[in-house]
Amino acid sequence: MPNRRRGDAAVTIAGERYTLRLTLGALAELEGAFGAADLPALGERFAAGRLSGRDLVTLLAVALRGGGHDLTDAEVAALPLDGGLEPIAAALAECLGLAFGSAPANPPRPQGA
């Protein structure tokens, strides 16, 4: 189960469940991949909502590696889209929202739970 406090999002691809996470290292990798000067510039790029297929492969690969999955960009690009692009895009949007602070964290537990 993904831990939203750590910034985890989950996605199922080809029947396998994966954890996505944007660690500080993952964000630095994305800055380099997208030529962003800093984190705010990176956030603005993603907020614009205009990403190419190549951008999605890079973002998904980095988020998968941040979530502990040892996959290359080429291996990620070869993953089948049996469920279509929508579940992957939604999971990436959730992951980005958690990393950039625009998604709510896990709700607090009731006292005594």
Count CB-CB contacts under 10 A for residue 104. 9
Residue whose entry in the numeric block shows the structure tokens 């750590």 = 6
Stated as kind and residue range, the H or E segment containing 9 is: strand 9-13
pTM of the model: 0.82
pLDDT digits 0-9 by tens, 58-109: 999 999 999 999 999 999 999 988 778 889 988 998 988 888 876 544 444 4
CA distance readout (Å), 3 to 9, 42, 55, 56: 8, 23, 25, 22
Stated as kind and residue range, the H or E segment containing 17 is: strand 16-20
CB 38 within 8 A of CB 32: no
